[in-house]
Amino acid sequence: MAGRCILILGGARSGKSSLAQNMAQRLGGKVLFVATGAPLDEEMRARIEGHKKNRPRDWLTLEAGADVGDSIMTHIGDAEVVVIDCITLLVSNILLVGGNKEKDGADRIDYASAESRVVSEITSLIKCVNSAQATFIIVSNEVGMGLVPPYPSGRLYRDLLGKANQRLAQRADDVYLMIAGIAWQLKGVE
C-alpha cells in the first residue's frame, strides 16, 4: 500500500512550513523531518537554526541535499510521518552541483542534463512515497506566478521547479496552496 502524500505550495513566508509542521503534529506518531537546505552562508545557517528550534525535539531530522528518496528509505525506520522541507532548495542543490557558471561569470547551462537530474530526483522521491508506509508532507515554493527571471539560470530553475511541482502534485493525494498564512485546498478531500 502506497503512502499518503500531501503537497504544500506557496510563496516565500506564506506559512508552508508552519502548516506542514501542524499537520504532522495532528497526525501524531513518529516524525522524520527531511531538511534539504545547506548552510552555505551565515544567513542560511541562522535560518536553519531557527527552523530547528521550532520543531518538536522528539522529531528525527535527516539532512539530505540530494538523493532524498534513497536517504529517506535508508533512515525512515518506523516513522509514520515524513516532512520534506523543501523541494525548492532540493532543486537548487541539484542545479548548483551541475555548475552553471563559466569562469567569466556567464551562464552556460546544459538544460537537458539539468532536467534529467531533477526528473531523476523527483522520480526517486515518488518511488519512495509509493513504497513507504508513511504519510508524506512535502513543501515547495510556487515560483511561476512572478516576474520572468532575467537570466537563463533563473529561468531554468523556475521551469524545473515548476515541472517538479507538477509531478509531485500529480502523485499527491492532497495539494494545498498557502497565501498569507491561509491554506487553500486544491486537490483532495479534507
Give yes or no for residue 161 having a pLDDT over 60.
yes
What CA–CA distances, in Å, run from 189 to 9, 10, 180? 17, 19, 22
Among 40-44, 66-70, 155-159, 169-173, the range scoring the smallest mean pLDDT is 40-44
> What is the distance between the alpha carbons of residues 176 and 145, in angstroms, rounded to a whole number?
16
The reported pLDDT for the residue numbered 55 is 87
List pLDDT tens digits, range 99-116: 545 555 555 678 899 999
Query: Which active-site residues does the annotation give?
Result: 51
Q: Tell me the domain boundaries of the chain.
A: 5-187
Q: Which among 155, 186, 176 has a CA at the least distance from the CA of 10? A: 176
The reported pLDDT for the residue numbered 98 is 63
List pLDDT tens digits, range 34-92: 999 877 788 878 877 887 788 888 999 999 999 999 999 999 999 999 999 999 999 99
Enter the DSSP assignment of 188. Answer: S
In the chain, % of residues over pLDDT 70:
93
The reported pLDDT for the residue numbered 124 is 98
Q: Which among 82, 65, 62, 174 has a CA at the least distance from the CA of 129? A: 82
Decide which of 3.40.50.300, 3.40.50.720, 3.20.20.140, 3.40.50.1000 is the CATH code for 5-187.
Answer: 3.40.50.300
